[in-house]
Structures are given as C-alpha cells and as structure tokens.
Amino acid sequence: MIFTYNLQDERIKIPQKTTFKDHNILERKNIEKWVETYPEILGEELLILTTEFDKFDKTSERLDLLALDQDGNLVVIELKRDNTGRTAELQAIKYAAYCSTLNLDQVIDLHVDYLRRRGEQAEREHVKSKLIDFIQNTEFEEINDRPRIILLAMEYRPEVTASVFWLRKFGIDITCVKITPYINDETALTVESSIIIPIPDAKEYLIQVEKKELSEGSQSLSKQEYLEFYADLVSKLGDRIPDTYPKPLPRNYYTISSGLSNVHYEWIFRGRPRNAFSVELHFENSDKLLNQKQLVRLASLQKTLEERTGENVIITKEWGRKWAKISIEKKTGEMSEELRFWAVNNMIIFFEVFQPEIDRLKKSGL
C-alpha cells in the first residue's frame, strides 16, 4: 500500500490507483526515459549502455534498453507500459540471444556511439575505464554469453509469470519489476516500483536454490573434473619441486603463492565452453601503480621465458581494473596427458625464471 502522511494535520491520505494511459504517459517517450535517467527504478545499480538498439545481424528488431550490471553482465531491459501481453518474455529472450555474441570491445563501441548521439564527449579509452570501474566483480575479464533480462510492466499476465518461473529453473536470469501509478493531484503522479520475481524477501535464498539445482548434473561433473585434474598436477609438481601446496578446489583455476603479497602463479582454463589453458603470473595488488612496477621488473625476463618454454609470452599490462599478468597459453580445453605435462613443465619454468627476481623484489620492499 502507498499512502501519504500530512505532518500538519497528522492525517493519512491513500492516493488513488490509476493507469499510465489515463495520463498520456507513453512507453518510449516517458517510461523509457525514466529508466534511462534513473535505472535504480529497476531495483539495482545499472549502467545504461544504449537505448533503442537495433544493430542486430539480419533483423531490424529493436530492444528498449541495454545495460551493464556490477558483475559485468549485459542486461536486456524490455518495457511494457500496460500489461506484458502473452509473449513479453519471449521477445526479451530473442534480444538476449542477439546480444549474447557481444564482447567487451563491441560494448564499449556501442556505448561510445550512444554518448555521442546524446551530444556528450566520448573518448574510447575513457569509456572503457568508465565501464571497467563500474564493474565490481574482481574476476571480470570478458562479457559472458548469458545476458540477464529485466521486464518492466504495470501488469503481468499469468502466461508470462509462469514462463519466467520455469525459465529461471534452467538458469535464465529474468527479473520482473512491476510499476504502479497513483494520482496525488492534478499535477503529480506517485509511481511505485517493486520487484515481484524473484520474491524480494526470499531473493537470495531462491537464487541459491536455483544455482544448486542447476549445478546438480553436468556442472557437478565439471567440478569433479577440475578437482581431479588439479590434484594430479599438484602431485606431479610436488614430485619435482617438493613443497606444501594448497588443496585444489572445484573451480577452473588453481593458484600458488609466490611469497610476495598479492603476487601468485596460476593455472587456469578459459572460455565458455573451455577452449584454452594458461600458465600465468598474476599481480593483484589494490595499488595499480605497484602492479605496473612489479610487472615491468618481471617482464624484462620475457625473452628468457620464451626461450625456455618455446611459447609466445603474453604481457597484459591492464587486466580487470587494476591488475596485470604474464602468461603463456595452450589452445585446448581437453584434460589430456599432453596438457598435464605441458602445465607442470611450464609452471616449473615459471618458478625457475621468475622466483629469483620475486625474492629480490621482496627484499627491496617493492
């Protein structure tokens, strides 16, 4: 319930529920502009990337708004002024499918174009920094291929809500936001915005249940694969360089401390589905300048590392928001004996090439 309380006469007034149509509030001209200006209406902090996007391949369809959330996910926003009709969720799924191929560079370009259409100055490097700074997920590297969906409407037909509940069971992240207008007087509307799916009071619980249900099956197999794979690598590494190594966890990467704060070695699978494997040295201090200084010192060993490994060494000066890394990569996601040998042998080379210099960095206090 929405009500107002008068501080002078201490009376409560209940505003009358109305419709947007009755007050000539339009979907594109008004509601879209509200969300574009105040995306918090949708119940979370979002960065609007563009509006009325129609640059899809082989179709002229146009989505209302495209946004970025703080985990680095694309968010397709579909608006309906009145009720959703029977197929709003299907329409949004189509747009999400169209957007699923967008990478970070393309997202940067479309946001630059959006800002320039609004008459704003938009240099590409500045826009890139703006997007990366907005993302709070410290493991973010690239836009994934599973955009989220937010539906906004005054009324939801049961066909739509039933479909949304069913789709969420299969890992499709759809949020339904309801907006309800109330008339205060002749000059102002009060608009209530509320998330109805997932149910707010149970949101975190429901999301965890959905993730658990989704993980039971194929994902649990992947987790077991990672555990067994990294346990085998650690065993082989321990045979050649005895030490106490961390117990592997069911995830796609494994880290080994270098002894220098926030600098570590890492094995990691990349891609969805996985299609590459890397041996890496990470610089993950909260101080970007310190990461750069340490990288410069160790990047001087690039030629030596390439000679020892026979691989092209990749120097990534800006990774995530502040980090940096040095890596070599093998283009395969198959957990073969060949990959296991490659992973262990090259991790040992990383130790032998980098660790003496890392120890000197420790002594110098850098």
Same domain, 223 and 353: yes
Same domain, 11 and 95: yes
Count up the domains in the chain and report the number.
2
Same domain, 13 and 157: yes
Please report the pLDDT score of residue 217 as a whole number: 47
Secondary structure class of 312 (helix, strand, coil): coil
Please report the pLDDT score of residue 200 as a whole number: 61
Q: Which domain-ending residue is among 215, 248, 279? A: 215
Same domain, 186 and 243: no
CATH of the domain at 170: 3.40.1350.10
- DSSP assignments along 106-157, one per residue: HHHHHHHHHHHHTT----HHHHHHHHHHH---TT--S--S--EEEEEEEE--
Q: Are 150 and 177 in contact (CB under 8 A)?
A: yes
Same domain, 151 and 17: yes
Same domain, 164 and 305: no
How many Å apart are CA 36 and CA 38, to the nearest integer? Answer: 6
CATH of the domain at 341: 3.30.1460
Same domain, 222 and 161: no
Same domain, 223 and 147: no
Same domain, 200 and 223: no
Q: Are 320 and 132 in contact (CB under 8 A)?
A: yes
The pTM is what?
0.59
Over its length of 366 residues, how does the chain's per-residue pLDDT go in tens digits?
A: 788 888 888 888 888 889 999 889 999 899 999 999 999 999 899 999 999 887 776 667 788 999 999 889 999 999 998 888 888 889 899 999 989 889 999 999 999 999 999 998 889 999 998 898 888 876 677 888 889 999 999 999 988 999 998 898 888 899 999 999 998 777 788 899 999 888 764 455 445 545 555 544 444 557 788 899 999 999 999 999 988 899 998 888 999 999 998 899 999 998 767 889 999 999 998 888 999 999 999 999 999 999 999 999 999 988 766 889 999 999 998 999 999 999 999 999 999 999 999 999 888 876
Which residues touch 197 (CB under 8 Å, ≥6 apart)? 161, 164, 165, 168, 174, 175, 176
Please report the pLDDT score of residue 211 as a whole number: 54
Q: Are 89 and 160 in contact (CB under 8 A)?
A: yes
Q: Which domain-ending residue is among 185, 215, 245? A: 215
- The domain in which residue 320 lies consists of 218-364
Same domain, 211 and 223: no
- State which amino acid sits at residue 162: A
Q: Which domain-ending residue is among 182, 215, 248? A: 215
Q: Are 69 and 149 in contact (CB under 8 A)?
A: no
